[in-house]
C-alpha cells in the first residue's frame, strides 16, 4: 500500500476517540430504536422519483433531480430523524481515521499486514453477504444490507490490529 494514501498517525487517536462512542451509540439506537424528537427534520432527496410506499399507497414526485421532502405531508410517513445518520457518519469517519492512519513505525511488513487484512475483510464481508442473500429475506435483508456498509471497515480494523498485536507479542517473546 502506498504511504501517500495514508494519513498521519496522529489521526488514529482521534479516530479511536470517535469510534467507541459512535459504536456504542449505534448499538443503543439499534437495540432501543430511539429517535430523539429534536433531530426530526426535512431533508433534501437526490432521487425523489423513487416511490414511497405505505399501506398500499404510493406517493411519487416528479420535480426534477432534487426536492425537499416534507415528510410531514407525505401520507403516513414519519419525519426524518437524523440520529442514525449522524451516528453512521461518525462511525464511518472514525473507522477511516483508524484504518487508514500510518503506524508509528510504518514499514513493508506493516504494508503487507494492512493489505492482507483489507483483502481478508473484503472476503469475509462478501461471504457474510452471500449468506444473507441465501437465508435472509424481506425487511430483515434491508437491515443486513445497512449493517453491511460498515462491516468491511470494521473487519479490516479488527483483523489489522489483531495481527499487529499478535506479531508484537511474538517479537517481544523472542527477545
pLDDT per residue rounded down to tens, the chain (175 residues): 556 789 999 999 999 999 999 999 999 999 998 888 888 887 765 554 455 555 444 445 555 555 555 544 443 344 578 899 999 999 999 999 999 999 998 889 999 999 999 999 999 999 999 999 999 998 889 889 989 999 999 999 999 999 999 988 776 655 5
Q: What residues make up the domain containing 140?
A: 107-175
pLDDT of residue 32: 92
In a domain, 115, yes or no: yes
In a domain, 90, yes or no: no
Burial of 157 (0-12, 13-18, 19+ CB in 10 A): buried
| CB proximity list for 68: less than 8 A, separation 6 or greater | 42, 43, 44, 45
pLDDT of residue 50: 52
In a domain, 34, yes or no: no
Question: Residue 96 — left, alpha, or beta (φ > 0 → left; ψ -120 to 50 → alpha)?
Answer: alpha
Please report where in the chains the cell 456498509 appears, as a residue.
Answer: 149
- Give the three cell numbers for residue 171: 517479537
CA atoms of 166 and 173, how far apart (whole Å): 11
In a domain, 155, yes or no: yes
In a domain, 9, yes or no: no
Q: How many domains does the chain have?
A: 1
pLDDT of residue 143: 87
pLDDT of residue 73: 45
| CB proximity list for 120: less than 8 A, separation 6 or greater | 155, 156, 159
In a domain, 62, yes or no: no
- Give the number of other CB atoms < 10 A from CB of residue 109: 11
In a domain, 3, yes or no: no
- Give the three cell numbers for residue 101: 492512519
Amino acid at each position: 500500500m502506498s504511504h501517500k494514501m495514508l494519513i498521519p498517525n496522529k489521526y488514529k487517536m482521534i479516530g479511536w476517540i470517535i469510534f467507541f462512542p459512535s459504536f456504542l451509540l449505534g448499538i443503543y439506537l439499534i437495540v432501543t430504536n430511539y429517535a430523539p424528537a429534536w433531530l426530526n427534520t426535512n431533508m433534501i432527496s437526490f432521487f425523489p422519483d423513487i416511490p414511497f410506499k405505505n399501506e398500499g399507497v404510493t406517493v411519487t414526485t416528479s420535480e426534477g433531480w432534487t426536492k425537499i421532502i416534507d415528510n410531514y405531508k407525505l401520507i403516513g410517513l414519519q419525519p426524518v430523524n437524523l440520529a442514525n445518520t449522524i451516528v453512521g457518519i461518525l462511525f464511518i469517519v472514525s473507522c477511516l481515521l483508524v484504518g487508514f492512519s500510518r503506524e508509528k513505525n510504518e514499514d513493508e511488513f506493516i504494508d503487507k499486514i494492512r493489505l492482507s487484512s483489507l483483502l481478508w475483510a473484503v472476503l469475509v464481508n462478501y461471504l457474510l453477504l452471500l449468506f444473507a442473500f441465501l437465508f435472509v429475506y424481506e425487511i430483515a435483508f434491508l437491515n443486513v444490507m445497512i449493517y453491511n456498509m460498515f462491516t468491511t471497515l470494521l473487519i479490516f480494523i479488527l483483523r489489522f490490529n489483531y495481527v499487529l498485536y499478535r506479531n508484537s507479542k511474538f517479537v517481544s517473546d523472542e527477545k
